[in-house]
Amino acid sequence: MGEGRIIRDALHGDIEISEDVRRIIDTRTFQRLRYIQQLATSHYAFPSATHTRFSHSLGAHHLATRLIGHLRELYPDAISDEDARLVPIAALLHDVGHPPFSHMFETPKVFATFRGHEEWGRLLMQDEECDLSRVLTEFLGDSVDRLLAIMDGSVEPRFLSEIISSQLDVDRLDYLKRDQFVTGADVGSIDLDRILRSLRISDDGRLVVRQDRVGVVEGYLVTRWHMYQLVYFHKLNLLTQAYYVRSLARARHLHEHEDLPLSLRMRDMLSNRELTPLRYSQLTDAFVIADVFAWADLADPILSGYATRLASRDGFHKRVRLPEHTPEQAEELLDPLSVLVSEAGFDAQHDLIHARMRKEGYLPYVGGIQLDDGSDILTSSPMIKSISGEFSNTMFFVPESIRAEAEQLAAQLIEQ
C-alpha cells in the first residue's frame, strides 16, 4: 500500500489523500471532472472563473475529512472507523455525475437520455464497465452500499449524510468559498475554521450548531445570498447559458430532421436515447466548446447566430431593464414583448430570450440548520430571518436595436 499523496490547492493549501482515495482520483471517471467547469459560463462575466468540478470535489473531500476528525475528537464513540473512511469518499464523489458545463446542461432540452447528476453519479459508481465502479468494489467491497446510502441520505445516524448534503454541508462551504475566491466577488465572509469548530452532533443524530456561534453561520448565509444575486444570477451568465442550451437544442432538431452531421460525443448527448454510463463518462466541456464554435460557420442562421455570439462575444442580446415589479407582472410581459420583437422584423422565438431564476434564501424545514438546543437558527437571528424565503427574478433579452423600445413598453405595462 502506497503512502497516498499531497495535493496543493489554491483555497485550502495542502490536501492530504490516502492511497485508496488516490486510486479513485486517478480513474478516468473521476479525472473527467477536470474538464467540467464549476460555474458553466460565468467566465463570460468573471474571466477567472474557470475552475472545475475536480478542484471543488477535492475541496469537499478535504473539508469532510477535517469535520470528521473534529467530531471524532468531541464524540469518540459516535463515528465508526468505516464511516470515518466513507464520509470523505462520499464528499469526493458527490459531483462525479455532473454533465458538461455542470447544471447548465442538466436538462432534457439537451440530453436525449435525461437523468439528474445524482442518478448518473450512482450509475457511474455501480456500472461494471466504469473503472470507478471496479476500483470502489475492489477496496470497499460490501461497504459500497453504505457509501451510496450516505450519499442518498438513507443512512443512520443522519448527520453522516448531512455532512455531505444539507443547508450547511461541505459541498456548499467549499463551492461558495471557492467561487468567491475565483470570481473576486467581495460580498461577505465565510470563516471555514470557525464554522467547522461550531458543529456538533445532537442526541437524535443531527448535525447542529452551537448556540453561541450563530454569527458565523450568519456570515455564511449572507454570503450565499449575495453570491446568487451577484454571480450565479448575473445577466451574462444567464444569457450565455441560454445561448448554449438553445444552440444544442437547435442542433438536435437539425440533426434529426435535416441531417446536420454531429460528432460522436454530440450525438451521444443530443440523440442517443439509450446512453450508457460508460459513454456518459466520456462527455466533457471540451467537445461541446469545439463543436459549438464550429457551428458559427454553418448556413443555418439560428444555430450559427448563437454559436457566433459565443465564439466572438459580439452581438449579444441586451437585457430589458425593468422598473420595480412583481414576478406576476414580469410574466405578463412575455406576450407583448414577443409582439414587439416580431413587429421589428426579428424572430420572437429566437430573439426574445426569457430567463427565469428562482432560489431559496434560507427556509426552515426538515433540512434546516438546527442549534444544539433543538431550535431552528431562524429563531435566533433577525438577519437570517430577513433573507429567508424565496428570491426570484425574470430577465428578458432582446436585440440591442429595440432595447429602448422594449424598456418603454415594459415600463408602461408595469406602471399601469
Q: In sequence order, which residues have a C-beta less than 8 Å from that of residue 19 and are 6 or more positions away?
A: 1, 2, 3, 4
Look at residues 263, 286, 252, 259 and name the one whose alpha carbon lies nearest to residue 114: 252
Distance CA(120)–CA(351), nearest Å, equals 34
Instruction: Give the pLDDT confidence of 252-308 residue by residue, as tens digits.
Output: 999 999 989 999 999 999 999 999 999 999 999 999 999 999 999 999 999 999 999
322: pLDDT strictly greater than 70? yes
Distance CA(297)–CA(301), nearest Å, equals 9
Domains contained in the chain, CATH given: 5-232 (1.10.3210.10), 235-316 (no CATH), 335-414 (3.30.70)
1: pLDDT strictly greater than 60? no
Distance CA(63)–CA(321), nearest Å, equals 41
Q: Determine contact, residues 125/148, Cβ cutoff 8 Å.
A: yes
Look at residues 324, 333, 325, 323 and name the one whose alpha carbon lies nearest to residue 354: 333
Compute the Cα dihedral for 60, 66, 67, 69 and give only its sign.
positive
Report the pLDDT value the prediction gives residue 366, as an integer from 0 to 100.
47
Q: What percent of the chain has pLDDT over 70?
A: 97
Distance CA(342)–CA(352), nearest Å, equals 9
Query: 388: how many CB neighbours lie within 10 A of its CB?
Result: 17
107: pLDDT strictly greater than 60? yes
Beta strands in 85-160 (DSSP E): none
For residue 43, name the pLDDT band (cuts at 50, 70, 90). Answer: very high
Q: Determine contact, residues 150/86, Cβ cutoff 8 Å.
A: yes
For residue 249, name the pLDDT band (cuts at 50, 70, 90). Answer: very high
Q: How far is CA 1 from CA 22, 137, 142, 143, 237, in A?
A: 11, 17, 20, 19, 45
Report the pLDDT value the prediction gives residue 360, as an integer from 0 to 100.
64
Instruction: Give the pLDDT confidence of 48-101 residue by residue, as tens digits.
Output: 999 999 999 999 999 999 999 999 999 999 999 999 999 999 999 999 999 999
The residues pairing with 200 across neighbouring beta strands, listed in sequence order, are 208
Q: What percent of the chain has pLDDT over 90?
A: 87
What grid cell was written down for 160?
Answer: 453522516
For residue 365, name the pLDDT band (cuts at 50, 70, 90). Answer: very low
384: pLDDT strictly greater than 90? no
Total number of residues shown for the chain: 416
For residue 361, name the pLDDT band (cuts at 50, 70, 90). Answer: low
3-state secondary structure at position 390: strand
CA dihedral 300→301→305→306, nearest 10 degrees, is -50
For residue 363, name the pLDDT band (cuts at 50, 70, 90). Answer: low
Distance CA(290)–CA(16), nearest Å, equals 35
Amino acid letter, 123 = L
Higher pLDDT pick, 212 / 364: 212
DSSP letter, residue 149: H
Instruction: Give the pLDDT confidence of 47-58 residue by residue, as tens digits.
Output: 999 999 999 999
Distance CA(154)–CA(165), nearest Å, equals 12
Report the pLDDT value the prediction gives residue 77, as an integer from 0 to 100.
94
Distance CA(235)–CA(230), nearest Å, equals 9
How far, in whole angstroms, is CA 375 from its chain's centroid?
29
What grid cell was written down for 124?
Answer: 457511474
For residue 4, name the pLDDT band (cuts at 50, 70, 90). Answer: confident
What grid cell was written down for 235?
Answer: 445577466
